[in-house]
Amino acid sequence: DGGITQSPKYLFRKEGQNVTLSCEQNLNHDAMYWYRQDPGQGLRLIYYSQIVNDFQKGDIAEGYSVSREKKESFPLTVTSAQKNPTAFYLCATAPGTLEKLFFGSGTQLSVL
Amino acid sequence: SQQGEEDPQALSIQEGENATMNCSYKTSINNLQWYRQNSGRGLVHLILIRSNEREKHSGRLRVTLDTSKKSSSLLITASRAADTASYFCATDSLTTGGFKTIFGAGTRLFVKA
C-alpha cells in the first residue's frame, strides 16, 4: 500500500445520501485513478486524473464525481444518482502515464 | 468495458506445481501489466511488459506477450501456498481521453499445501 491512504476502510450509505471516499498520496505521483471492484470481478475505471485541476471520465463515471485541487488528493463522491453503489473502491497512483500503478488498501462501501 | 479476459477464471493446483494464466485483449496496446490481489486488499504490481517485448522474467514469474495474437501469459513456477490470490492482467492503451489502464476480470489461483 505504500504511501497511499484510503479512508475510511468501511463506509455505509443511506438512501439518497452522498458520501465521499478519501484518497491521499505522498508519492509525488502525477496520475491518480479510481476503480470500482464488484465481488469476484475485475476493476472498472471510474475517473482518472493525470494532472492537478484536470480529470477525465472512465468507463463507469455516471453517479460519481471527483476533484483534483491538490496533487496529493483525489476524493471520490458517490452521489445519490448511483443506484448500486455497493462495491470495493480502489484508488491508485502512478508517476506518469504508461507506468505501473500503486494501489491503496481500498474502501468497502455498503448501502444501509 | 473490460479490455482483457483472463483464462482460466479459477485454478487449483498443488504446492510445487507450475501455474499458467492467460490474458487476451481486443485493441492495440502500449504495455501489458500483471497484478496480484489478496482477498479484500489492494492490488500489487508484479511485472510490466512493453509492446515491443516478447518475454520478461522476475524471480519465479515469467510473462510472455504475443501482440499478433493479442495475448499474454503469466507463469508462476514452483508455486507456494502463499501464491494463493487473484491475478489480473491490465492493458495500457491510448484512448480519446488519453492513456488508460484497463483490467480484466482476473484468475483466482488456489495453491494447496
Task: Give pLDDT, residue A62.
Answer: 96
Contacts of B28 (CB under 8 A, 6+ apart): B51, B67, B93
Given a cut of 70, is residue B43 above it in pLDDT? Answer: yes
Given a cut of 60, is residue B55 above it in pLDDT? Answer: yes
**What CA dihedral angle connects A110, B4, B10 and B15, to 10 degrees?**
-110
The alpha-carbon gap from B45 to the nearest alpha carbon of chain A, in Å, equals: 7
The alpha-carbon gap from B10 to the nearest alpha carbon of chain A, in Å, equals: 10
Task: Give pLDDT, residue B15.
Answer: 97
C-alpha cell at A3: 504511501
Burial of A110 (0-12, 13-18, 19+ CB in 10 A): exposed
User: Which residue of A lies nearest to B94 if distances are taken between CA atoms?
Assistant: A98
How confident is the prediction for chain B on average, in pLDDT? 92
Least confident of A41-45, A81-85, A94-98: A94-98
Given a cut of 70, is residue A47 above it in pLDDT? Answer: yes
Chain A residue set in contact with B, beta carbons under 8 Å: 1, 4, 33, 35, 40-45, 48, 50, 56-59, 88, 90, 92, 94, 97-106, 108
Neighboring chain A residues of B40 at a CB cutoff of 8 Å: 88, 106, 108
Q: Do A101 and B97 touch (CB under 8 A)?
A: no
Checking DSSP bridges between strand A54-57 and strand A43-51, what pairing results, if any?
antiparallel
Task: Give pLDDT, residue B81.
Answer: 97
- pLDDT category, A98, cuts 50, 70, 90? confident
pLDDT in tens, A48-87: 999 999 999 999 999 999 999 999 999 999 999 998 999 9
Task: Give pLDDT, residue A1.
Answer: 47
Task: Give pLDDT, residue B16.
Answer: 97
Task: Give pLDDT, residue A97.
Answer: 79
